[in-house]
Structure 1
């Protein structure tokens, strides 16, 4: 049994006081949004309690699917690194960036430099990230029978836009990686900030090349896709070669209950291989009522596509065991 925790969009606060010159960009809109809206609904207290509860569940690994910061000020990026160190060791925590982490040109490079140990593959060294933002993605981390594949959709976008894009080069690498991991018989978990399914969000917040991602999954397959971005409970699927691939999103990890969006939550996935079939049990944990502690909200089974070579063998045949 492997326990994977997933949280997203902590939008760490409070926001540092920006210099005036730092607001001569799209940041002015995000700054005003924080002051008028998010500073009241996204609280560090909720996030702190959520992380404490998550640690108490003793997950084997933690996935954070982007938007650690708000307007990507340098002090925010440093603060996010400190927060990640409190969440866990880089070996046990996998991170991908979101659109807020790439809020203005140059922000994503600074975030990648600061958070590199948390969003690089097992075969990466500690050298500074390459100038090409796509060069380190997708990254791969193998933990037991799981393969965690981190994809970046983070792009600096114009005012009033929160779109994401994977890009052609990264998409090609993603397909090759998923095919190779599939041949190894691993449970492939794809981490992506923007949801890749149809009509996932408003047009100005969409994944602009979602159809390209769906084509890769349909050809190469995956067992589970985890996303953030929408700040709501999200359960969907996209076509895979062996059946529908589940796509699961989670609300913001810092949102207080009682507002327009659900209270802060994280999802806990218990994954096992039994009789040649992958089994995945998901538990939602978080806040539902103001003033109440973190609690279990929903427990449900996630249907995982059955790969033909992992099905129980016919009489006289042996079962192919996944790599560890």
Structure 2
């Protein structure tokens, strides 16, 4: 089974006047005045989806931050962007902190109103695709900082869901647990504040074979020790990055091959400004 992993597309639009809550005023200034808008490119976003579709995966997983500010127009554009991919194979996604950007009456309701047929109805959630299961635990909340949080009661609920898991299970989070050196991810203003509890829970379960995440735009591979051996922690890097070689920035996505309860291959594709090609030297060989 081949699984494409996209993350952090960051489709961005200007908010309407009605959508300009205080946090979005700051976010819009960051995008359009401070220059963050130029970090992401509709061309690379479209190319990532087209390249993923051309690989004919059995499943596509997206680990959050599909939008810049969780706007209706952004979610509508994301849906249009991803529909060709979803028509070719199952698609599963989770929210990122930019998708849950401001307070809502129901956590994540705005995103689900546009994209809910590709999501779990809540956290924790589990979905099954052939011999692969995908478990989702929420790590995002709307704050003025970029940090996240997990309701630790969800961990016991997630353990119960794992009783129905297939032979191979990916755990999908938006926030990293560890950095590229395997140390606790930080600083705290950008991290999941309950990451140690999530990591401790993973350490004691036999039912998770790999962790997929996003949030950190420069991708990396790490591992987590568990009582039953180390498991990979995989972040392809932002799939919607512009091609900015002078800043060592470009878009990436991963492809995983799972056979007989094993992750037998990790491929990483890199945007060169024209097309996505396999990363020279193999996945993560470039260090970014």
Q: How many residue pairs end up in the alignment?
A: 274
CA radius of gyration, larger in: 1
> Any unmatched runs of 5+ in structure 2?
none
Partner of 1:204: 189
Partner of 1:213: 198
The alpha-carbon deviation at position 250 of structure 1 amounts to 1.7
Whether 1:166 and 2:153 are equivalent positions in the alignment is: no
> Any unmatched runs of 5+ in structure 1?
121-128, 130-135, 302-324
Change (3 A) 1:231 1:300: closer
1:106-255 equivalences in 2 (<5 Å)? 106=104, 108-120=108-120, 136-158=122-144, 161-178=145-162, 180-181=163-164, 186-197=167-178, 198-221=183-206, 222-255=208-241
Whether 1:283 and 2:282 are equivalent positions in the alignment is: no
Deviations 1:181-240 (A, max 9, x none): 56x5x1011111001124323221101100111111111131011000000121111122
1:260-279 equivalences in 2 (<5 Å)? 260=247, 262-273=249-260, 278-279=262-263
The alpha-carbon deviation at position 92 of structure 1 amounts to 0.4
Whether 1:22 and 2:19 are equivalent positions in the alignment is: yes
Q: Distance in 2 between matches of 1:259 and 1:166?
A: 37
Partner of 1:320: none
The alpha-carbon deviation at position 84 of structure 1 amounts to 3.0
Aligned with residue 31 of structure 2, among 28, 31, 34: 34
Q: Which moved more, 1:169-178 or 1:278-287?
A: 169-178
Query: Matched residue of 2:111: which SS?
Result: helix
Query: Matched residue of 1:102: which SS?
Result: coil
Partner of 1:7: 6
Change (3 A) 1:73 1:244: same
Partner of 1:317: none
TM-score scaled by structure 1? 0.79
